[in-house]
Amino acid sequence: MKIRIGTRGSQLALWQAYYIEQVLREGGLETEIVIIETKGDKILDVSLAKIGSKGVFTEELEDQLRDGSIDIAVHSAKDLQSDLHEDFEVLAFTERETVNDVVVSFDKDFTLEDTSKPLVVGTSSTRRVAMMRRYFPHIQLVEARGNLQTRFKKLADGHCNALLLAFAGVHRMKYDERIVRLLPLAEFTPAVGQGSVAIESAKNLAPEKKEAVRRLCNHAATELCLLAERAFLNRMQGGCSVPVFGLARWENAENIALHGGVISLDGKELIQHQQLNTVTTPLQAAELGVAVAQTVLAAGGAAVLEEIKKAKR
């Protein structure tokens, strides 16, 4: 049985595709990698917040899933929108990498606490911008879009003193040496899905292919966490361009703690909530996500989201 794997062409996307390819081959399947360019890859001069997050990195992949040119699409779970079209499903979430955001710099002594000189930090995520404004308001922020290699080039060129990135991407691209700080999860709570790889397929993919991919690639414990986070994000109606954050972790063998919230663009308003539920089924995971979202929305999160929408118009 042969599985055609669709992926974007960035180095990080290819790492993910090769990783899945290896798992499938070790499981006795044949594979072929098909590289597909997406809108998000083509438009590099406009911030993601302005393009709008919905499907910019996934639409072209879904076109090919639909017409059968590829069997599966491999994504960073973080980049896969929470409201998939009804023709598609997530077959698997891989075991999660360290979820934290990190600070990277060529200056080993770089520290965010230094107030003696002007410091410039590059980031392209509204969530990271808002959190930096809240916790490190003296730092000047600049946009740093593009793939990881492009961002590191900007850093090397002196465009900024440091970058804020996800550990997972930095590690996969072997830039670990440049990490100067692992940011704490309580303040810099990651984006929903950060660190896991998601495998999407058309619902009408052959059942034996679906079953094989899921059996070989899905990590059940990670999956329940991701389902809780994605239900939270879905209820919050936020894509990756909105400063919504969410992290679900196993507290013990039966209970998942989900920490989720939203932060205003200036960092001043932070509405968050943590809830612990017994989760043994996908439905219970989703219920936890919805419950945390409802609490956050009712506690002022809805107003913060409304402000963010207005600011974008």
- Residues known to be catalytic: 79
Can you say whether residue 52 is alpha, beta or left, with left for phi > 0 and alpha for psi between -120 and 50 degrees? left
Nearest residue to ligand PBG by CB is 169
Does 78 contact ligand PBG by CB under 6 A?
yes
200 phi/psi in degrees, rounded to 5? -105, 145
Cβ closest to ligand PBG, residue 169 vs residue 246: 169
User: CB 274 → ligand PBG: shortest distance, Å?
Assistant: 21
User: CB 82 → ligand PBG: shortest distance, Å?
Assistant: 15
Residue type present at position 223: E
157-184 core/surface letters (b: 16 or more CB in 10 A; e: else): eeebbbbbbbbbbbbbbebeebbbbebe
- 147-166 residues in contact with ligand PBG (CB under 6 A) are 165-166
Give the residue from 275, 263, 285 showing the smallest Cα distance to 133: 263
Instruction: Quote the crossing angle between the two packed helices 11-26 and 207-217, to the nearest 10°.
Output: 100
Cβ(133)–Cβ(243) below 8 Å: no
Cα separation values, 117 from 98, 106, 113, 130, Å = 31, 17, 10, 21
User: CB 256 → ligand PBG: shortest distance, Å?
Assistant: 19
User: CB 77 → ligand PBG: shortest distance, Å?
Assistant: 6
Cβ closest to ligand PBG, residue 55 vs residue 297: 55
User: CB 26 → ligand PBG: shortest distance, Å?
Assistant: 22
Cβ closest to ligand PBG, residue 79 vs residue 297: 79
Whole-number CA gyration radius for the chain: 19
Cβ closest to ligand PBG, residue 172 vs residue 209: 172
Cβ closest to ligand PBG, residue 136 vs residue 212: 136
Cβ closest to ligand PBG, residue 130 vs residue 240: 240
Does 238 contact ligand PBG by CB under 6 A?
no
Among 7, 38, 53, 76, binds ligand PBG (CB under 6 A): 76
Q: Which residues pair with 189 in a beta bridge?
A: none
Pairing of strands 270-278, 255-263: antiparallel
Does 229 contact ligand PBG by CB under 6 A?
no
Does 92 contact ligand PBG by CB under 6 A?
no
Which positions ≥6 away from 19 have C-beta within 8 Å?
A: 94, 197
Give alpha helix (H) positions in 120-199: 126-135, 148-156, 167-172
- 98-157 residues in contact with ligand PBG (CB under 6 A) are none
Residue type present at position 107: D
User: CB 273 → ligand PBG: shortest distance, Å?
Assistant: 23
Among 6, 55, 122, 169, binds ligand PBG (CB under 6 A): 169
Q: Which stretch binds ligand PBG (CB under 6 A): 20-28, 72-80, 227-235, 295-303?
A: 72-80
Cβ(141)–Cβ(159) below 8 Å: no
The tokens describing 102, both together, are: 């990190």
Residue type present at position 173: M
Among 100, 194, 264, 277, binds ligand PBG (CB under 6 A): 194
Q: Residues in the site for ligand PBG, rule: CB under 6 A? A: 76, 78-79, 165-166, 168-169, 194-195, 240
